Amino acid sequence: MKKNFYITTPIYYVNGEPHIGATYTDVACDVMARFKRLDGYDVKFVTGTDEHGLKVKQAAEKKGIDAQSFTDIVSKNFMNLSEKMNISNDDFIRTTQTRHKKAAQALWNKLLENGEIYLDSYSGWYAVRDEAYYSEDELEKSEDGKMIAPSGAECEWVEEESYFFKLSKWQDKLLELYESHPEFIAPNSRRNEVISFVKGGLNDLSISRTTFDWGVAVPENDKHIMYVWIDALTNYLTAIGYPDTKCDEFKKYWPADLHMVGKDILRFHAVYWPAFLMAADIEPPKRIFAHGWWTSEGQKMSKSLGNVISPDVLIDKYGVDGSRYFMLREVPFGNDGDFSHQQAISRINGELSNGLGNLAQRTLSMIFKNLDGIYPEIDELTVEDKKLLNSAGEDLLNFVRKEIEQQRFHKALEQIWKIIGEANAYIDEQAPWNLKKTDTVRMGVVLYVISDTVRRLAIILSPFMPDSMNKMLNQLKVPENERSFEFIENMIKSGVKIEKPIGIFPRIEPDKEKAA
Ligand code: MSP
C-alpha cells in the first residue's frame, strides 16, 4: 500500500516582513517532509499566506496602498523566504486566491446546510493583533484602562450583527476526540491545557464581521465577510482540492497527518478546527503539534527593543543549513528557546565544522593524497570497522525515524552526533596517518570505513541540511539515485575516484560577528 503523508505549516499573516516564526515552522516541517520522502512516502507539504482580516487591512492602510496590492507584495516576500531556506513545499496557498475563496464558501455552505450556523449579534472584546475574540474574564485592565489579552494584545469592544458557529454543542465530541486519540495534540503539556480549556465550557463562536470588507464574502449575505480564522483554517482543505472531496488528492491526503503550529495558535487548531470539520462531516486531522517561541538573548523579540532576529540576518550570519541545524538542535522542539548568537556560533563551529565537517574533510583528503583519490578494494573488515558501520546504518535510521515521528528533532540530532563522536574516536584510534607508514592496506580499509560512515550520516542528515549534505554526497561520489533510506546499508563502490575535497562547513569567526 502506498504510504501518504500530508503536512502543513500555519499560513502567515502578511501584515509585515517575514519573521523567525515562519522560518522555524517551515524548517521543522521541511525536515519531516524530506525525511518522509526519503523513506518512500508520497508527501504533500503545504505552506502559504493568510491575507484577509483587519490586521492585514490596517497594515495596508498604513502603507497607503490597497489591500490586494499590499498582500501581493508581502506574500511574495514569504514565498522568497521559503525558497531561500530551501523549503520543499509542494504548494503555496494564498487566501486571496479564487480556489481558496471557493473552498471557504463551500465549507460555510456545508455548515449552514448542517444547521451549525445561525445569525445573531455579537458584543464583546476583540484583539486585532491576535484576530481573536476574548471573554471579559480572560482579560486584564492596564494602568491606562485598556483591556489586555493574555498574549499582551490590546482589545477593542465590538458590537455588530454576526453569524455564529454552534461551538458549544461540540464540547463533548471534542473531549472524546482528545481522549480516543491521545496523539492528536502534542506535546502532552499542551494537550492538557487544551483539555482543561474545553472542559471549562465553550461559547458559540462569532464567525463573521460586517464593519469592514477585507475577507471572503459570506455566500448568502454579502453584508458579511467570514471571520479570518474560519477562512484561514480552510486553507488546509483548499490545497487538496476541496470542495471536491472525491478527487484523488483529497482522498489521498485527508485527514492531514500533521498541522504544525506555534503554541499561540493551538486553540484555533485543536478546538475550533476539528469542531468545524466534524460539523461539516469531515474527519479531523491526525495530529496538531505546537512548538514554542524564540526569544532573543533572553527577551521577547520586539521592534521597540530592537532585538528582532530576522530570517535574513540568520541566513547572512550562519548560512541556510547552519540556521536550520541550530534552530532544531538548540531547543527541544515544543519548548520555548532563547536565540543566543554565541550559542549558534559555538554549535556551528563545534558540531558542524569540527565534528562532522572535519571527519569528512580529513578522510577524503587522505584518500585524495595517498590513494590517488580511489576507494580501495576491501578484503576484510575488523570487528571495530563493522561496529562503526552498523551504528551509522539501520540502527541509527530507526532511532532517528522514531524521534522524527514524534517531532523530537533535537533528540534525533543528538544521537546522530553521538555516532559522529564515535567515528571521530575510531579515526583517532586507528590513526590512518600512522598506518600510512606501516600498513597502507589497513590505512585504505580505515579510510573506506569512515567514508562509508560519512555517506550513511549524510543520507540521514540530508533532510536537516539538504544543500550541505548533497555537497557531501557529491564529494563522496554517491550516485544521486542512491541517496534515499533504502540504500543506507549499501557500501561505497571500490574503484570510484573522488576529487579534491572542499570543506563544507566553514568556521564562523566570533570577532566578525561581534563587529557586525
Ligand atoms: N495567520 C495565522 C495562522 C493561520 S493558520 C490557519 C498566524 N500567523 S502569524 O504570522 O502571526 O504566525 C505564524 C506562526 O509564527 C505561528 O505559528 C506563531 O507561533 C509563529 N511565530 C511567530 N513568532 C514566533 C517566534 N518568535 N518564535 C516561534 N514562532 C513564532 O498566526
pLDDT at 296: 85
How far does the centroid of ligand 1 lie from the alpha carbon of residue 224, in Å?
A: 26
Task: Kindly report, residue by residue over 95-145, the tens digit of the pLDDT.
Answer: 999 999 999 999 999 999 999 999 999 999 999 999 999 999 999 999 999
Percent of the chain topping pLDDT 90? 92
Is the separation of the CB atoms in 134 and 123 below 8 Å? no
pLDDT at 487: 97
Per-residue pLDDT averaged across 156-175, rounded?
Answer: 97
Q: Is the CB of 259 under 6 A from ligand 1?
A: no
What are the helix and strand counts (H, E) for the chain? 21, 16
How far does the centroid of ligand 1 lie from the alpha carbon of residue 248, in Å?
A: 30
Full-prediction pTM beyond 0.85? Answer: yes
Query: Distance (Å, rounded) from C-alpha 294 to C-alpha 328?
Result: 12
| Residue 301's pLDDT band (cuts 50, 70, 90) | confident
3-class DSSP string for 33-91: HHHHHHCCCEEEEEEEEECCCHHHHHHHHHHCCCHHHHHHHHHHHHHHHHHHCCCCCCE
- Look at residue 498 and give its three-state secondary structure: coil
Percent of the chain topping pLDDT 70? 99
Has residue 303 got a pLDDT over 90? Answer: no
pLDDT at 515: 44
* Sign of the CA dihedral running 62, 68, 72, 75: positive
Residues in the chain: 516
How far does the centroid of ligand 1 lie from the alpha carbon of residue 484, in Å?
A: 32
Among the residues of 53-183, which ranges form H helices? Answer: 54-63, 67-84, 98-113, 171-180
Atom 19 (ligand 1) nearest CA: 262
pLDDT at 513: 47
pLDDT at 304: 72
Has residue 411 got a pLDDT over 90? Answer: yes
pLDDT at 309: 87
How far does the centroid of ligand 1 lie from the alpha carbon of residue 331, in Å?
A: 18
Query: Distance (Å, rounded) from C-alpha 359 to C-alpha 20?
Result: 31
* Gyration radius of the chain's alpha carbons: 26
Is the separation of the CB atoms in 297 and 290 below 8 Å? no
Has residue 516 got a pLDDT over 70? Answer: no
pLDDT at 306: 78
Helix (H) or strand (E) holding 161: strand 156-165
Atom 24 (ligand 1) nearest CA: 21
| Residue 298's pLDDT band (cuts 50, 70, 90) | confident
Query: Which of 94, 231, 293, 307 best tests ligand 1's pocket when mutated (most atoms within 8 Å of CB)?
Result: 293
Q: Is the CB of 285 under 6 A from ligand 1?
A: no
Helix (H) or strand (E) holding 257: none
How far does the centroid of ligand 1 lie from the alpha carbon of residue 10, in Å?
A: 7
Query: Distance (Å, rounded) from C-alpha 67 to C-alpha 449?
Result: 59
pLDDT at 307: 82
Query: Which of 9, 19, 231, 258 best tests ligand 1's pocket when mutated (most atoms within 8 Å of CB)?
Result: 19
Amino acid identity, residue 242? Y
Residue partners of 290: CB distance under 8 A and separation at least 6: 185, 186, 187, 190, 261, 262, 263, 265, 266, 269, 270, 334
For each of the domains in the chain, give its residue range(s) and CATH number, in order of start.
341-510 (1.10.730.10)
pLDDT at 511: 58
Query: Which of 7, 50, 230 best tests ligand 1's pocket when mutated (most atoms within 8 Å of CB)?
Result: 50
Query: Which of 8, 23, 24, 93 best tests ligand 1's pocket when mutated (most atoms within 8 Å of CB)?
Result: 24
Query: Distance (Å, rounded) from C-alpha 467 to C-alpha 410?
Result: 20
Q: How do strand 156-165 and strand 117-127 relate by DSSP bridges? A: antiparallel
Per-residue pLDDT averaged across 188-217, rounded?
Answer: 96
Has residue 247 got a pLDDT over 70? Answer: yes
Q: Is the CB of 11 under 6 A from ligand 1?
A: yes
Q: Is the CB of 60 under 6 A from ligand 1?
A: no
What is the pLDDT of the chain when averaged over all its residues? 95
Q: Which DSSP state fits 333?
A: B
Per-residue pLDDT averaged across 503-508, rounded?
Answer: 95
pLDDT at 305: 76
Atom 23 (ligand 1) nearest CA: 21
Has residue 1 got a pLDDT over 80? Answer: no
Angle formed by the axes of helices 171-180 and 188-199, nearest 10°: 160
Amino acid identity, residue 322? G
Query: Which of 265, 277, 326 best tests ligand 1's pocket when mutated (most atoms within 8 Å of CB)?
Result: 265
35: how many CB neighbours lie within 10 A of its CB? 23
Amino acid identity, residue 57? K
Q: Is the CB of 50 under 6 A from ligand 1?
A: yes
